Chains A and B, each alone.
Chain A
Amino acid sequence: RKEVEQDPGPFNVPEGATVAFNCTYSNSASQSFFWYRQDCRKEPKLLMSVYSSGNEDGRFTAQLNRASQYISLLIRDSKLSDSATYLCVVNSPSGTYKYIFGTGTRLKVLA
């Protein structure tokens, strides 16, 4: 089983739609979780951190489910500019704080 797993997609959704991605992780001791956004041929950029209590930033909501070992990202009222790859990142609690990236989920918002 991969340490961090994501559905690669692509998710094709119309403008204005709500879309959700999940990411599962294998190590129950992981403590830090993030969503990064990566545009085509660009570097990843932090979208938001995921806290135990959840995190909301405008149209974006991230949640953590420790019992089932997954994190989620919800995007409401999708915009064309939301089209990108969304990378799930989990820290590996091995003492070196290594961050493990998922393969990413591609989102395409259609006009």
Chain B
Amino acid sequence: EAGVAQSPRYKIIEKRQSVAFWCNPISGHATLYWYQQILGQGPKLLIQFQNNGVVDDSQLPKDRFSAERLKGVDSTLKIQPAKLEDSAVYLCASSLGRTAETQYFGPGTRLLVL
């Protein structure tokens, strides 16, 4: 079974530039999560989708971050404009449903903002 796919794997940009990350979850998984993991910290949930609807985006900095999951399958996370403190690994995860489910993570996109 194919896992969660993410691209790109690495991205280096300058501050104030924009960047987009893509995620394709495991086939059939209704719930998709985007996490930000800063070095030395645990993953922090940015946004959670159930099919193509947003379930939780309380920790998403909406002035600069946006995400969508059109058609309830793959998803895009965008940062515009980027700040130095956005340097982190952006992890996408998916799970079959919403309750007490195992989350499967993609390899992540490592972002460096200069």
Residues of chain A at the chain B interface (Cβ within 8 Å): 4, 8, 31-32, 34, 42-46, 49, 87, 91, 96-104
Do the beta carbons of A32 and B102 come within 8 Å of each other?
Answer: no
- Interfacial chain A residues near B61, Cβ < 8 Å: none
Task: Assess A43 versus B44: contact at CB under 8 Å? Given A91-B100, A97-B98, A98-B56.
Answer: no
- Closest beta carbon of chain B to A50's beta carbon, Å: 11
- Interfacial chain A residues near B103, Cβ < 8 Å: 46, 99
Whether a CB of chain A sits under 8 angstroms from the CB of B21 is no
Bound-complex Cα distance A87 to B37 (A): 12
Q: Which residue of B lies closest to A45 (CB)?
A: B105
- Interfacial chain B residues near A32, Cβ < 8 Å: 99-100
- Interfacial chain B residues near A104, Cβ < 8 Å: 41-42
Please provide the chain B residues from 2 to 57 with a CB less than 8 Å away from any CB of chain A in the complex. Answer: 33, 35, 40-45, 48, 55-56
Residues of chain B at the chain A interface (Cβ within 8 Å): 33, 35, 40-45, 48, 55-56, 91, 98-100, 102-103, 105-108
Q: Which single member of B35, B44, B91, B102 contacts A46 (CB below 8 Å)?
A: B102
- Closest beta carbon of chain B to A48's beta carbon, Å: 10
Task: Assess A44 versus B43: contact at CB under 8 Å? Given A32-B100, A97-B98.
Answer: yes
Do the beta carbons of A103 and B107 come within 8 Å of each other?
Answer: no
Do the beta carbons of B48 and A101 come within 8 Å of each other?
Answer: no
Q: Which single member of B45, B55, B98, B105 contacts A44 (CB below 8 Å)?
A: B105
- Closest beta carbon of chain A to B50's beta carbon, Å: 9
Bound-complex Cα distance A84 to B103 (A): 19
Q: Which single member of A8, A97, A101 contacts B44 (CB below 8 Å)?
A: A101
Q: Which single member of A49, A97, A102 contacts B99 (CB below 8 Å)?
A: A97
- Interfacial chain B residues near A101, Cβ < 8 Å: 35, 42-44
- Interfacial chain B residues near A43, Cβ < 8 Å: 91, 105-108
Q: Which residue of B lies closest to A44 (CB)?
A: B105
- Closest beta carbon of chain B to A12's beta carbon, Å: 17
